[in-house]
């Protein structure tokens, strides 16, 4: 926000409409300034980067299940914060020819595109809490980057709230899609795929299990291999599934026992997405940078990566480890109303086991998969390289 910092105040005021050499000159550069601008929140202390921290793979910087926002920063959210990395190929929400939902943004696909996605955080009472688009645009008009905004989008681009908001969305979208920091492809695994690093024995065993259909089978939804066009794997197939993660009682909204987060079927979409068969389904997230997270799954119920992997393999063989036990009965899938329990995936490995059977992976093998997942963290540098 260097527009007025470089010249004495009086001169700056006179030059309000000129843009300094340091002003953002592309939509992506302007988007970056907006992304980090805390004055765009009612509290004055929250920006997009507060929840999507660049130092934490553009996800939340802490171990809270949900973040707090609002005017006084005391209003809790209802879902964990996803990483904003590697979204450049996420298609808009749709159903394929076989009726499988895919694409879109947010855990439930409620936002068709990235551009639409910015409205909620800017307006929501428990996030940046601006209430209306007009309030946001008024703040932009008063910002130091208003001249840069007008230079990029036109002299009158801030005059009308809805068109101004469209440009604002465009700038934020361009930043997230264009800037290398959102898709650096420089994890150890990327170096390995390029033949420039070796995986340790544990990481290699983990990778094999991750891919093996009859064992961990993770790659069925989190693809790990290069695309036919040579593109790097994103570790998501953009589809939706119901895993039946346990209810998170620390989410304030869950104090109401009749309240359930049903995911896709509650996303506000009409038609098939609203079918009860979609209830409990959430988007498959990328696993890139999953080793930097401190909370897992849409409700942040699970707090370590090892537990997240263990959940997959012992959910059905040892459900008492994951769900509350009431009067001797395990409350399996207790974050979904009974009629939707049948939507939970119990067909595919690793969750095709039954109570008392051997889990799909041993403890050692779970550790191996975790070791492999840590190779997906961006910023692997030469100094860390093993042999």
Q: Which residues bind ligand HEC (CB under 6 A)?
A: 46, 48, 50-52, 67, 69, 77, 79, 81-82, 84, 87, 105-108, 114, 117-118, 121-122, 127-128, 172, 216-218, 220-222, 241, 243, 245, 282, 284-285, 287, 290, 293, 296-298, 308-309, 312, 345, 348, 350, 369
The count of other CB atoms within 10 Å of the CB of residue 339 is 9
The residue among 8 and 99 lying less far from ligand HEC, judged by its C-beta, is: 99
The residue among 83 and 157 lying less far from ligand HEC, judged by its C-beta, is: 83
Least spacing, CB of residue 355 vs ligand HEC, in Å: 19
The residue among 4 and 64 lying less far from ligand HEC, judged by its C-beta, is: 64
Least spacing, CB of residue 173 vs ligand HEC, in Å: 8
- Backbone φ/ψ region at 132: left (φ over 0), alpha (ψ -120 to 50), beta: beta
| Cβ–Cβ under 8 Å, residues 138 and 294 | no
Least spacing, CB of residue 233 vs ligand HEC, in Å: 14
User: If we measure between CA atoms, which residue out of 377, 367, 200, 176 comes closest to residue 293?
Assistant: 377
Cα dihedral across residues 62, 68, 69, 71: positive or negative: negative
The residue among 200 and 294 lying less far from ligand HEC, judged by its C-beta, is: 294
Taking every pair of Cα atoms in the chain, the longest distance, rounded to a whole number of angstroms, is: 77
* 199: Cβ contacts below 8 Å, ≥ 6 apart: 188, 189, 192, 207, 372, 375
The Cα 85–Cα 185 span in angstroms is: 10
Tokens of 323: 């769900």
| Cβ–Cβ under 8 Å, residues 52 and 237 | no
Least spacing, CB of residue 15 vs ligand HEC, in Å: 29
User: If we measure between CA atoms, which residue out of 153, 133, 156, 145 comes closest to residue 27?
Assistant: 153
The residue among 1 and 220 lying less far from ligand HEC, judged by its C-beta, is: 220
Tokens of 362: 């041993």
Least spacing, CB of residue 104 vs ligand HEC, in Å: 7
Least spacing, CB of residue 236 vs ligand HEC, in Å: 8
The residue among 145 and 282 lying less far from ligand HEC, judged by its C-beta, is: 282
The residue among 155 and 256 lying less far from ligand HEC, judged by its C-beta, is: 256
Least spacing, CB of residue 6 vs ligand HEC, in Å: 27
The Cα 107–Cα 242 span in angstroms is: 12
Angle at 209 between CA 205 and CA 211, to 5 degrees: 120
Cis amide bond preceding 128, omega within 30: no
Least spacing, CB of residue 83 vs ligand HEC, in Å: 7
Least spacing, CB of residue 327 vs ligand HEC, in Å: 27
Least spacing, CB of residue 47 vs ligand HEC, in Å: 7
* 262: Cβ contacts below 8 Å, ≥ 6 apart: 279, 280, 336, 340
The residue among 37 and 190 lying less far from ligand HEC, judged by its C-beta, is: 37
Buried b or exposed e, range 242-275, using 16+ CB within 10 angstroms: bbbbbbbeebeebeeeeebbbbbbbbebeeebee
The residue among 3 and 218 lying less far from ligand HEC, judged by its C-beta, is: 218
């Amino acid at each position: 926000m260097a527009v007025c910092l470089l010249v004495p105040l009086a001169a700056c005021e006179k030059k309000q409409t000129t843009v300094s050499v340091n002003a953002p000159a592309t939509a992506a550069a302007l988007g970056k300034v907006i992304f980090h601008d805390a004055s765009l929140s009612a509290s004055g202390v929250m920006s997009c980067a507060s929840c999507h921290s660049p130092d934490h793979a553009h996800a939340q910087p802490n171990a809270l299940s949900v973040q707090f926002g609002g005017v006084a920063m005391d209003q809790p959210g209802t879902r964990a914060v996803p990483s904003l990395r590697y979204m450049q190929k996420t298609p808009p929400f749709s159903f394929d020819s076989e009726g499988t939902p895919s694409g879109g943004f947010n855990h439930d696909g409620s936002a068709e595109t990235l551009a639409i996605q910015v409205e909620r955080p800017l307006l929501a009472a428990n996030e940046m809490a601006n209430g209306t688009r007009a309030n946001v645009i008024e703040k932009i008009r008063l910002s130091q980057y208003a001249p840069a905004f007008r230079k990029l989008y036109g002299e009158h681009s801030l005059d009308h709230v809805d068109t101004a908001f469209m440009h604002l969305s465009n700038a934020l979208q361009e930043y997230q899609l264009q800037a290398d920091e959102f898709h650096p492809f420089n994890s150890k695994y990327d170096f390995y795929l390029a033949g420039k690093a070796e995986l340790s024995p544990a990481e290699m065993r983990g990778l094999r299990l991750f891919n093996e259909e009859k064992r961990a089978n993770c790659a069925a939804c989190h693809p790990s291999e290069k695309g036919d066009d040579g593109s790097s794997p994103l570790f998501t197939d953009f589809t939706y599934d119901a895993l039946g993660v346990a209810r998170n009682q620390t989410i304030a909204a869950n104090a109401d026992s009749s309240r359930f987060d049903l995911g896709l079927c509650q996303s506000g979409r009409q038609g098939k997405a609203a079918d009860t068969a979609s209830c409990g389904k959430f988007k498959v997230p990328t696993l890139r940078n999953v080793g930097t997270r401190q909370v897992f799954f849409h409700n942040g119920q699970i707090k370590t990566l090892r537990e997240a992997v263990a959940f997959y393999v012992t959910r059905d063989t040892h459900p008492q480890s994951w769900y509350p036990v009431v009067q001797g009965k395990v409350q399996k899938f207790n974050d979904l109303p009974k009629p939707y329990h049948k939507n939970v995936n119990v067909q595919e490995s690793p969750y095709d086991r039954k109570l008392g059977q051997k889990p799909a992976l041993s403890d050692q093998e779970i550790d191996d998969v975790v070791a492999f997942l840590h190779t997906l963290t961006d910023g692997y540098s030469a100094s860390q390289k093993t042999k």
